[in-house]
Amino acid sequence: MKISLIGKTAMVGGSTSGIGKAIAIALADCGAHVILVARNEEKLKAVQDILDTTHGQQHDHLVVDFSLFDQAKERIAAFFSGRKVDILVNNTNGPSAGGIKEKAAEDYQQAFELLFQYAVYTTLQALPHMEANQFGRIINVSSMTVKEPQDTLVLSNTMRTALVSWSKSLSRAVAAHQITVNTVLTGYFDTDRLNSLMEMQAGKMQLSFEEVKAKRIDAIPMKRLGKPEEYASLVTFLASDHAAYLTGTAIQLDGGLMTGML
């Protein structure tokens, strides 16, 4: 199966490292023009420089701090006033870890803006072109905590679940325009984000980082962490014509970690 995204423009959030970076590279390898989005311009430029341009792509980047929602809205609106995208990958850093008793109401508001409002706002900005063009791919990078909440990630549990619910409603509303909306529920992948969570867990449990990592890996039936490139392969498929009839889904990508059937 050959995937070609030649002539398509993709916007990828959180694309300077980890899963987001791998997605951007994979989409460019398939011929897409890629708009990188993150808060560090130096890192954005570094990733942009390594993206494939074999098919004449003209890649670009947009500096946005997802945690500053009002500023982010202004920059996203300014971009879409003159630009269009065919493929939108909603991906941001996760909110701070912590349990119920460690979080105040203000923390939920910040997480709501980071994980829910930013994705909703950006998606609504992208939709008019997708509808007019009768083609669109909206892909949300989410977490397995949507289906199996973790006690120490209460903000992520709550807000990511809200986005999946909204995305399901959206998928039905835009399906007639040949726009698909899908969410990937992320398991344990070899990223800086996972490392930071394991370091925090190690401190709380008075264990070494290596011990915590070994416990995580042992819990995964495949006995290894996922590779960002494997994640990018799924997203590239979802962005392609081959996934034109697949919409409204929340796909587990976790090496078999989640135990539920649905």
Q: What percent of the chain has pLDDT over 70?
A: 100
pLDDT of residue 77: 97
Residues 175 and 192: their CA atoms lie apart, in Å, by 35
* Burial profile 213-233: b = 16 or more Cβ within 10 angstroms, e = fewer: beebeeebeeeebbebeebbb
Report the helix count and the strand count for the chain, using DSSP H and E.
Answer: 9, 7
Tell me the CATH architecture of domain 9-187+228-253: 3-Layer(aba) Sandwich (3.40)
252 within 8 A of 258, measured Cβ to Cβ: yes
- The tens digit of pLDDT for each residue in 199-239 reads 988 998 899 999 999 999 999 999 999 999 999 999 999 99
Structure tokens at 28: 């460019």
Structure tokens at 60: 């670009």
pLDDT of residue 260: 86
Model confidence at 262: pLDDT above 80: no
Q: Amino acid identity of 38? A: A
- The candidate with the shortest Cα–Cα distance to 32, out of 5, 63, 61, 3, is 5
- The candidate with the shortest Cα–Cα distance to 217, out of 208, 206, 225, 209, is 225
Domain boundaries, the chain: 9-187+228-253, 193-225
What strand order describes the sheet that includes 136-143? 60-63, 33-38, 9-13, 87-90, 136-143, 179-186, 250-253
Residues 157 and 160: their CA atoms lie apart, in Å, by 6
Angle at which helix 18-29 crosses helix 41-50, to 10 degrees, equals 30
Backbone φ and ψ of 60, nearest 5° = -150, 175
pLDDT of residue 204: 86
pTM of the model: 0.95
Q: Phi/psi zone of residue 137: left (φ > 0), alpha (ψ -120 to 50 degrees), beta?
A: beta
- The tens digit of pLDDT for each residue in 138-157 reads 999 999 999 999 999 999 99
Residues 156 and 147: their CA atoms lie apart, in Å, by 12
Mean pLDDT of 8-33: 98
